[in-house]
Chain A
Amino acid sequence: MDYPNEILIILAWGSLLKIDKYIFLFSFPALVYLFSFTIYPIVSNFILSLYTQDVLGRLHWTGLGNYLWFNKDPFLSQIIINTLLYMFLTPIIDIILAIPLAIALKRLGSKWLFIIMLPSFIPPVTAAVMWYLMLNPFFGLAYYVLRWNWASSIWTVILVNVWRTLPITVLIIYSGLKSISKEVEAAASVDGLTGPKKFFMIDLPLIAPQVLTAFILMMITGLFTFDPIYIGTSQAGPRVLDNLAYYSFDQFYSGDPGYAAALIVLMSILSTFFSILYIKLLNMKRFVKLPVPKFIPSKNTPLIVHRIILILYMIFILLPMIWVLNISFKTPLEIISIPPTIFPEKVTISNYQMIFNDGLSYIITSTSIALINTLITLLLIAPLSYSMAMHKFGGAKLLIYILYTNATPTLIYIIPLFSFLRYLNVINTWWALILTYPIMTIPVTTWIMYNYYVKFPKQIEEAAEVDGLNRLKVFYKMVLPLSKGGLSVAAIYAFLYSWGALIFPLAFTYSPYNLNKPLSFSGAQTFSIFIGLLMSPVTMSYGGVAASGIISSIPPLILLYLGRNNLEKIWSSGGV
């Protein structure tokens, strides 16, 4: 067969590494992308952290100057306290809340899982605006409960975090509970272990790996809390809610990339440490033993208790969404009436009309980029994950790297990526987002598809090869058409991540899509930015915020509905 020169060179590399040429060709595009968009930014970030930028934008060597400034920065001590609070309280509260719900789900059946999953599907920005609207002490539901300055409280940020991450925590713990063998359950029953005593003596020790996995995962999420702070800051003012993630982004945004880079290096070290912990935990087979005091009863909890628990959680999960739905149909005057009305007195759709007039260009960008990125992601990761699973391509090292990037927030890449995009002259265009979005979606989808292909029958490939198809053809003609199940789960993830993205578009764009010159593809602010803009004290268009929050939830809700029967698989394919 004749290949163009470039491919010959790639193949030569492959043969040097003693890898089948087709397998190497398959995996090459995704690997090049993955390595260049992660390793380069990490290294470059470190170098940048040794420089400082002057007012003209020139960089000067400063050595450890940026790091030494940590000591003097007047904001930093409060910021570090906030960071630690977000980082530890989010997973602790998550786990404490998730366990009773997971137990209730196991008793009552998983049909309720669909509703429980809602918060994790809607964009993080939307989740934040929902809570801030509801907790507004004058116009929100909080008027009737507790008129308190919720916006300036870090507890609100933690509350939004918990609300958004609780579903995944529940899903992880629930899947752990479900994986306890039926015979062990029967043995416990014969031995007389039921209710709380059985939970502490048998269940909790056996699901310890899942609980720890969830803890680490939510700790990383907590460490990189961004969206609720972004929305909250527009209400509370600067520096009140900041954590390291938000502060470093702010430093980068306001023109101090060197110091931002130093802060990011600090976070990268933290997140690497936790990623390694997370990877270790995924392979953990050890169980934890707990001392169970005698007073813990061995009595079955009545079903009604589980039902009440489920109802309480449903209220917690649905309330902000219902409140926002209500507001979105209120007239502007009614929205700012005190006391707030529970249901709209006069239903209006003017808020939605406003969004479709003013927000159209944002919606077009978000939808298009999310679809394009989903497609690109699938094209890149399907062959890569296939050769990793079927042909052990890259071995354990590559797999660990995928897991590492999976647990590493993309915030740590933004500064070098920004310079790179500026170099390409594509800042504030669709190309900027198309180029960078895959880095958010490749790790998680590769991991999903890797787990999918590990269970894929190898005979299909062998049979097709015996029939005379080469590996490339085998993959595109036989394997891909049979992978719909896995690819659809991966596609849901890719779309959700792209649709809800905030940090990349905030960093790489500054104006909405230019509808007058559509083919320039310039102007690329996304819908999540639009929601943030509406929420700012300048606009203060709460009706618009509510309506856009609802609109931004519609695509995820459709996906949730389509994937409702695979919810348990979604985690089990992406986890332990």
Chain B
Amino acid sequence: MALKLLGIKKKYGAFTLEISELTFLDKSYTIVLGPSGSGKTTTLRIISGLETPEEGKIILDDKDITYDPPWKRDIGVVFQNYALYPHLTAYENIAVPLKVKKLDNKEIDRRIRKIADVLGITNELYKYPSQLSGGQQQRVAIARALVKEPKVLLLDEPLSNLDARLRLDVRSFLKELQKKLEMTVIHVTHDQEEAMAIADNIVLLNNGRIIQVGTPNEIYRKPKNMFIFNFIGLSNIIPAHILGIHDADYVGFRPEDAIIKKNNEGIKAKVKRIQYLGAYKLIELMIDNEIKIIVRTRPDENIQEEENVNITIPNNLLLKFKGEEALY
């Protein structure tokens, strides 16, 4: 019982999307994460049926839906710009998918009221899209996608058109909604912080390939390679020999895992710059005047620029890399 992609191939000029196997777990919140041009929107369009792959299969609950048109797929889509029909009220927008299914007006009304109640837009139903705020438009778009009670909900960059303050609210709202309705949600974004914050599972894409699938913690703590390590969160990479390690080329560690010592323990470094960020400080240091690292400290840490200090990193928090690949 899940959504499965098998042997998918899709070409766009020089770009190719290739997914050999990917399963989206039932009733979970999956985020497809990747830099722009990584193929995440194409993946979403293939799942929704707006694109047909050249090879491969899409299987939803053991049924092959690869060549089904979008509206026969039991999949709801919320577009990045919401794509509401500007000439229809919120109510009429939400009614469109039901009207196409030729439901009777009473049933349509019942379903719209139910979903509007879930999304908190009951008072907005008779307004036109242009009379709604960005956040309200998004809720209408979600309602339109959910009203046909799909098995899977696709969200294309749902937070990118909202202002920073609203983003935090909406992302927890999305997660709560998914839990409440016990739905399978696939959410596409390029924002790694957003992914870490709400995903049950993250699918990491780069250059049209899946490079890692895992929980946020797995991706953060056990990245498969240097690209992932650098892409997610702040990171430091230094040659392994500096720490006296000889079975790897490089070692990586997170800024919050390093400890600044004022005694002679660990490696020597010089403080170059201090960024005060309220909840913590980010300290930029140089090792041997050529390798830059960042360390996170408490905001009241007593430290000066140009000061010479020592750094230690607990061994269990070090990541070893052979070439680009991580060693475990």
Contacts and interface: CB of A to CB of B under 8 A. Distances in A.
A294 interface: yes
How would you classify the secondary structure of chain A's contact residues: helix, strand, loop or mixed?
helix
Interface residues of A, number: 21
B110 interface: no
Contact of B71 (A191, A201, A289, A294): A191
B132 interface: no
Contact of B83 (A183, A197, A201): A183
Interface in A59-107: none
The 6 closest A-B pairs by CB, nearest first: A192-B71, A287-B87, A183-B83, A187-B83, A192-B100, A205-B87
Contact of B87 (A189, A191, A197, A288): A288
Interface of A: 181, 183-184, 186-193, 197, 201-202, 205-206, 287-289, 294, 298
B50 A190 contact: yes
A189 B71 contact: yes
24 contacts: A183-B80, A183-B82, A184-B83, A186-B79, A187-B79, A187-B83, A187-B144, A188-B96, A189-B71, A190-B50, A190-B75, A190-B97, A191-B96, A191-B97, A192-B70, A192-B97, A192-B101, A193-B96, A193-B100, A197-B100, A201-B96, A205-B87, A288-B87, A298-B100
Nearest to B88: A289
Report the interface size class on chain B.
Answer: 20 to 34
A191 B88 contact: no
Given A186-B50, A191-B96, 7 more contacts: A183-B82, A184-B83, A187-B85, A188-B96, A202-B85, A206-B86, A288-B87
B5 interface: no
B100 A189 contact: no
How would you classify the secondary structure of chain B's contact residues: helix, strand, loop or mixed?
loop
Contacts of B80: 183
Nearest to B87: A287
A190 B100 contact: no
B70 A190 contact: yes
A206 B100 contact: no
A192 B77 CA distance: 12
Contacts of A201: 96
Given A205-B87, A289-B87, A183 B79 contact: yes
A571 to B, nearest CB: 22
Given A189-B71, A206-B86, A289-B87, A181 B100 contact: no
Contacts of A197: 100
A428 to B, nearest CB: 56
Interface of B: 48-50, 69-72, 75-77, 79-88, 96-97, 100-102, 144-145
A305 to B, nearest CB: 19
Contacts of A186: 50, 77, 79, 83
A196 to B, nearest CB: 13
Given A190-B71, A191-B71, A197-B100, A287 B86 contact: yes
Contact of A181 (B77, B81, B102): B81
B107 to A, nearest CB: 14
Contacts of B100: 191-193, 197, 298
B81 A183 contact: yes
B87 A206 contact: yes
Given A191-B96, A192-B101, A201-B96, A184 B71 contact: no
A370 B70 CA distance: 55
Contacts of B79: 183, 186-187
Contacts of B102: 294
Question: Which of B84, B85, B101 is the most central at the interface, judged by chain A CB atoms within 10 Å of its CB?
Answer: B85
Nearest to B141: A187
Given A197-B100, A201-B96, A294-B102, A190 B85 contact: no
B60 to A, nearest CB: 15
A288 B85 CA distance: 12
